[in-house]
Amino acid sequence: MSATVDTIKQQISENDILLYMKGTPQLPQCGFSAQVVQAMMGCGEQFAFVNILDNPDIRAELPKYANWPTFPQLWVKGELVGGCDIIVEMYQNGELQTLIKEAGQNRAESAE
């Protein structure tokens, strides 16, 4: 297994809420990443992110590891939630807020 895949696994295991995106939450570099960031901000929980534009090795390996070809990718509690369309739809019907709040509560409880 490559060092890049090890890095991806470590990032996913260390962050309850992790977004692989193009750019940063403050400055998204694509429209899909921007939409997902807006949905995530609407959930009111902090989340970690990885700018795949700064990490070409992760950009190349993550789609194979996740079996998901596109970015952004949202991971919650070690599970791939999905990409932009799924996340925006989940946000619109309230599922994303519930999922993110639960992950945020778990993180707060484990920090105590």
Per the annotation, binding residues for [2Fe-2S] cluster are: 30
CA 15 to chain centre: 9
From the annotation, which residues make up the binding site for glutathione?
22, 59, 71, 84-85
Distance separating alpha carbons of residues 27 and 90, to the nearest angstrom? 23
Q: Residue ranges for the binding site?
A: 22, 30, 59, 71, 84-85
